[in-house]
Structure 1
């Protein structure tokens, strides 16, 4: 019920509120309308390029209640980041209105990620009495596509792909009804006026449409065929998750030998039958982001999933239906499906029909598509519970664009990220905006998506970068692109960027001890870094410690063959005695010719780069323990070591880390530890117990350097800290010793977060120059 109007004309006041945050595409204007009406206030609300502007007029008491409720009653994912108020002269006009958007000025409003289907829409879709019964594109102000369909800011239907679908009278009535959940819902549509399904064969021939298309796709999946489905942010490849032959066929066609597939369960009960789910993990699964959540698979549910979905992996990546389309399909099937990116391994997912038919025709048997275009592709996000927090490993659909407050950001900075797990970021107006995951830039298709992402970020936010930030690696595609552009270039050391990404996320300025551990990063001395301890403050860093360097015979080939890395490490332990030792040869799977070739590489230092990488040290341990001698995907060997350690009955303790000082530089000597690990393996100690000991040794090494350097704040970042066991052990030791520990949670700790650190560094350098 509306509040009584103010009777004292002299007590009437008018204020203007400029609101910045997640306030477009989330039903914020209808929310403001209802609040103002309930409080008996006059005025208006409208979208602007910067957010939302509103003016309200009425009694002082009502205005104050309105402002309290504006913050207190707001419903996620809407979020107020900043609210600026100014007083105005009353205009004495009655009523409250939602006005047309103001598109003047540079766009800077928060672009919302796509939102998974809400419970209200779910209920309508499965209600036979509802006019949207079984309509796969049902949305409201609380759910549906946002980032994937937006063409410009402010967020209005006219600046999204929904402009192609004129609302029917019934939808228009909802859109203009303040009592409706779809009041000013820009994605509003129904079976009579909205997007429609089509089921096609690989030759683009339409086999069926609408409900028949959905039924045909369900039948095909039940028969073991592979279906490419056009989702929110791009195409996914679906297959019956119980059917081992179908899963194997998908692996063969997609050229994905062993990397785990994600699985979509039709309900939370179905998910609970597949995996162990904590309350935090359940909340993540059911959230508006609907990410893939890495969970411990149940061992007591035979027949639920095909063994080939995650070979040798105790975890399973599970997700819930993100859209009504997914929900309807899973409901029709009654069983879980593999839901993997619509691509060949390493490439970005296909986003439009022409691209999908061209790239996926040799993989999918059928295509379930629709006529709503995808403007901004976004793969599925990935999360994992680490140290009691749901940690983002891939920031994409439902989470990106990710907005982080960073007061250092002033002039626009475009950060290009790394070479693998690429994502770009834009810094401006006190924020860093991280775009969605793109992928490995070794592929032409990924580079095309990369250029598109850069253009869209700058267009959406109306920011032409004054500075382009990139990695220091001279051969990265991102580095060459930065150097070929017209903006000033800010090259940021790889591991410094990792640490700064976590510092920016946590709002700390330093100095900190940054522990940056990953597989590969170009070092300031021209070698391959990856096991680094850095002092980081402002835009500067200083290398304080690292792992004892070792050789990688074959260079990049060693990344795919952990046995090569193990050979380089064992040579570091035994020297030339390695070549004459018959006892050590059984640890590694080499033929006589290979042994001779690799010995020549190491002895001569030819095609055997030097590295301090913690990730490669994991590879070496994986090979020595016979857990993984050949890797078919990035991180496979390190994951094998982690899984073995987690399942171990005990811990085989290894010699404590040895820290050697060379002037101000400290070096962690891993040789006594590796010698004992090799001896223990040959003595028959279970590999899992040795792997557990290795994790404890790594955590001890971090604590040892923290003690030596004396910094109160310690930051953990880099791909190695996707390892839950390592992260938790390291954090526990550091916190017990009194250190303050920070890490990435919302920003990926892997290379997917590099652009955030690059943007942070560039802004700090500019501010230091200008004083």
Structure 2
């Protein structure tokens, strides 16, 4: 029951303030927090949720103390963007109350899903608690948010908990402003809430028996197996058709993570955060090679849902002397999106999993695990999804609403509202019907939950991208944004950079403004104006798309282009197809060329004998990075002429000297960083620019990103790396949306009317 507040303070004359609180302030315990503050300061009034966030009116003497504490002591999961204050006439309320929510057009936002908090975890393990062993325990400090929310404001009726009637005990908690479950919309207990389809004991037994389990969690299903059982890992790879791409590993706590990996303090901070992403950390070599073959780092995450904690507790109980780790990978057949519904799991996972564990709380928005690493001491995304979406990027100023459709690989979509840009969860590669449906679902849900019908659409220049077709189908005025311009614009948007800057965009493939295949670009960007200042020397793309899957083709093409077909014959002597390719290229066969840094990495890896054929995107570059160490650069390994940097001399030297493995990788990385930095600094001086943005998928290479940043910063250049979204194509939609807003505001000639 609500209790009457103490009388207002007599030390200050009473005032009444209306406070509009904007940001992530629903579903995080903000109303009971405000209630408690009002009681502390002896204030009357009310607090409520509405479509714009939280509305508070407080009356009494110390209203300014209340306003200051509102920001300083906000709940851990809250994100306050603004507290707007307005003087109001005294109302002479007797109490401070929590009033009913108000609807309307949404201008607030819902928070991201959060890992089980310490209080709920304690109750989960406490035999005296009614939540003991309950796989869905949660409170206002933790649990699902975005993935169970249909619309705003964030009330139970708008979530997938709407069909679960609360028992008297849960209803009492839900109505009690002094309880941490006050208006915790997913609140439930064994008497009234969702249920697992299988007992935890049976799931644990299946895993210890070497079986594969599909487990429904927060944003979708995981495929689990014993991470120390090489046969189980091999079986999962075979069934999932995932030959070599690394698997993530889940452990129960940070102490166990340290048994299998060697995280730095910054990496531990990421692991322990409420988002619980997968974090790339140095492995200790204590897991089978099948987890991440050829790589020095492994992806580790801590248990984040109650069901995970229960499962690890049971596994530890059965094997108390052995540290427990599970492979935890997205439950999807190769290339398709994450399975999220029970029916979907039964249909799509039956040939992969030996046991499918479901529950009866619907996942309304599927979201993969986020994947991160630490670059130059700061968090960096490789995949942004659960735990972070839908936190917006602040663009710094209002503007028209635009929806951007991203790229066809690592797809995300982005919707802007006012000064905020909402980048969706990772969608994936748009090369199958399931993922295309997921992309459309994502567009519809973003527009619905933000209550926005966009004014404009933005997309890539590529004429054949599926994402472009969806943008065209929306029937909105359309802005087409060059791929690498969007990469640079994404970083400029998150850092709110104004004016001209230099952008170094390094990736595998992007459709150029001239119709060519770009990928190593030096650009000038100033709002909606841009110029291509320079690029990497082009290399033959021998075999077209096959060259991206078969690095030896890039190596042959590069060596022939450097006039050293003899070296290609020598290195690939055992491959008749390579000899035929050398002959065709030397015979003058016309072939597409690319300035892609990703393809240069492929050529170097193949010359070094590290990787001839790739089974997943970026495999050669990842394995090549993993074996590098610090060496001096070869200053004669590159040439810079007319703002084109040519690394073919480096490839020739590697081939002539027979450099292989770690020696080749180390020299390549050192020389590449030195050459790119010299090229960028020379261009910055010529263009009189003192800010450089680094972006593109190749910046996932930590050695490259840190090396470039260090050299440029040491030369006095302000150097920006992406942090709010991935450097690769997962961040492209943000750049498209930001660039489109500049076009709309300044130069409508680039807008195509529907």
- Within a 5 Å distance, the mapping from 1:188-587 to structure 2 comes to 188-199=187-198, 213-299=199-285, 302=286, 305-334=287-316, 335-574=324-563, 578=565, 581=566, 583-587=567-571
In structure 2, the partner of 1:720 is 698
Partner SS state of residue 163, structure 1: coil
How far the C-alpha of 1:702 sits from its partner, in A, is 3.5
C-alpha contact 1:409 1:763 (8 A) present in aligned 2:
no
Partner SS state of residue 696, structure 1: helix
- Mapped partners of 2:573, 2:381: distance in 1: 36
- Mapped partners of 1:365, 1:552: distance in 2: 43
Partner SS state of residue 370, structure 1: coil
Partner SS state of residue 410, structure 2: coil
In structure 1, the partner of 2:596 is 613
C-alpha contact 2:123 2:131 (8 A) present in aligned 1:
yes
How far the C-alpha of 1:726 sits from its partner, in A, is 0.6
Residues 1:42 and 1:683: Cα distance change in structure 2 (over 3 Å): closer
In structure 2, the partner of 1:70 is 70
In structure 1, the partner of 2:320 is none
How far the C-alpha of 1:409 sits from its partner, in A, is 4.2
How far the C-alpha of 1:123 sits from its partner, in A, is 0.8
1:81 aligns with 2:81: yes
In structure 2, the partner of 1:43 is 45
How far the C-alpha of 1:690 sits from its partner, in A, is 2.7
Q: Aligned Cα RMSD in Å? A: 2.0
In structure 2, the partner of 1:11 is 13
- Mapped partners of 1:602, 1:75: distance in 2: 67
Deviates more, 1:518-527 or 1:400-409: 400-409
In structure 2, the partner of 1:93 is 93
- Mapped partners of 2:659, 2:442: distance in 1: 51
In structure 2, the partner of 1:669 is 646
In structure 1, the partner of 2:319 is none
In structure 2, the partner of 1:693 is 670
* 1:25-64 per-position Cα deviation (integer Å, ceiling 9, x unaligned): 11111111111121111111111112111111112xx101
How far the C-alpha of 1:223 sits from its partner, in A, is 0.2
In structure 2, the partner of 1:742 is 720
C-alpha contact 1:553 1:598 (8 A) present in aligned 2:
no
Residues 1:99 and 1:392: Cα distance change in structure 2 (over 3 Å): same
How far the C-alpha of 1:604 sits from its partner, in A, is 4.8
Residues 1:669 and 1:740: Cα distance change in structure 2 (over 3 Å): same
So what's the TM-score if we normalise by structure 1? 0.93
In structure 2, the partner of 1:208 is none
How far the C-alpha of 1:362 sits from its partner, in A, is 0.7
C-alpha contact 1:657 1:701 (8 A) present in aligned 2:
no
C-alpha contact 1:114 1:145 (8 A) present in aligned 2:
yes
How far the C-alpha of 1:178 sits from its partner, in A, is 2.2
Residues 1:308 and 1:89: Cα distance change in structure 2 (over 3 Å): same
C-alpha contact 2:144 2:218 (8 A) present in aligned 1:
yes
Deviates more, 1:373-382 or 1:704-713: 704-713
How far the C-alpha of 1:556 sits from its partner, in A, is 0.6
What runs of 5+ residues in structure 2 fail to find an aligned partner? Answer: 317-323, 750-754
1:157 aligns with 2:156: yes
In structure 2, the partner of 1:596 is 580
In structure 1, the partner of 2:127 is 128
* 1:316-366 per-position Cα deviation (integer Å, ceiling 9, x unaligned): 000001101011111211311000000122221111011111111110010
- Mapped partners of 1:529, 1:592: distance in 2: 30
Residues 1:615 and 1:684: Cα distance change in structure 2 (over 3 Å): closer
How far the C-alpha of 1:657 sits from its partner, in A, is 3.3
C-alpha contact 2:38 2:44 (8 A) present in aligned 1:
yes
C-alpha contact 2:138 2:187 (8 A) present in aligned 1:
yes
Residues 1:52 and 1:683: Cα distance change in structure 2 (over 3 Å): closer
- Mapped partners of 1:290, 1:683: distance in 2: 38
- Mapped partners of 1:601, 1:427: distance in 2: 48
- Mapped partners of 2:304, 2:648: distance in 1: 49
- Mapped partners of 1:770, 1:248: distance in 2: 55
C-alpha contact 1:285 1:319 (8 A) present in aligned 2:
yes
- Mapped partners of 1:416, 1:236: distance in 2: 27
In structure 2, the partner of 1:207 is none
- Mapped partners of 2:245, 2:679: distance in 1: 30
- Mapped partners of 1:307, 1:684: distance in 2: 18
- Mapped partners of 1:710, 1:590: distance in 2: 51
* 1:41-92 per-position Cα deviation (integer Å, ceiling 9, x unaligned): 1111111112111111112xx1010001001111322011012111111111
- Mapped partners of 1:146, 1:685: distance in 2: 46
How far the C-alpha of 1:539 sits from its partner, in A, is 1.3
How far the C-alpha of 1:567 sits from its partner, in A, is 1.3
How far the C-alpha of 1:695 sits from its partner, in A, is 3.9
- Mapped partners of 2:182, 2:660: distance in 1: 71
- Mapped partners of 2:333, 2:145: distance in 1: 26
Deviates more, 1:596-605 or 1:48-57: 596-605
In structure 1, the partner of 2:612 is 629
- Mapped partners of 1:414, 1:17: distance in 2: 31
C-alpha contact 2:249 2:327 (8 A) present in aligned 1:
yes
Partner SS state of residue 162, structure 1: coil
Residues 1:683 and 1:366: Cα distance change in structure 2 (over 3 Å): closer
C-alpha contact 1:702 1:730 (8 A) present in aligned 2:
no
C-alpha contact 1:521 1:528 (8 A) present in aligned 2:
yes
Residues 1:528 and 1:605: Cα distance change in structure 2 (over 3 Å): farther
C-alpha contact 1:402 1:433 (8 A) present in aligned 2:
yes
- Mapped partners of 2:661, 2:741: distance in 1: 54
How far the C-alpha of 1:769 sits from its partner, in A, is 4.2
What runs of 5+ residues in structure 1 fail to find an aligned partner? Answer: 200-212
Match of 1:55 among 40, 57, 62: 57
How far the C-alpha of 1:761 sits from its partner, in A, is 0.7
Aligned residues: 739
Partner SS state of residue 198, structure 1: coil
Partner SS state of residue 402, structure 1: coil
C-alpha contact 1:644 1:692 (8 A) present in aligned 2:
no
* 1:617-667 per-position Cα deviation (integer Å, ceiling 9, x unaligned): 111111111111111111111112211213x6x446352532111xxxx21
Partner SS state of residue 525, structure 2: strand
Residues 1:119 and 1:684: Cα distance change in structure 2 (over 3 Å): closer
So what's the TM-score if we normalise by structure 2? 0.95
- Mapped partners of 2:47, 2:548: distance in 1: 56
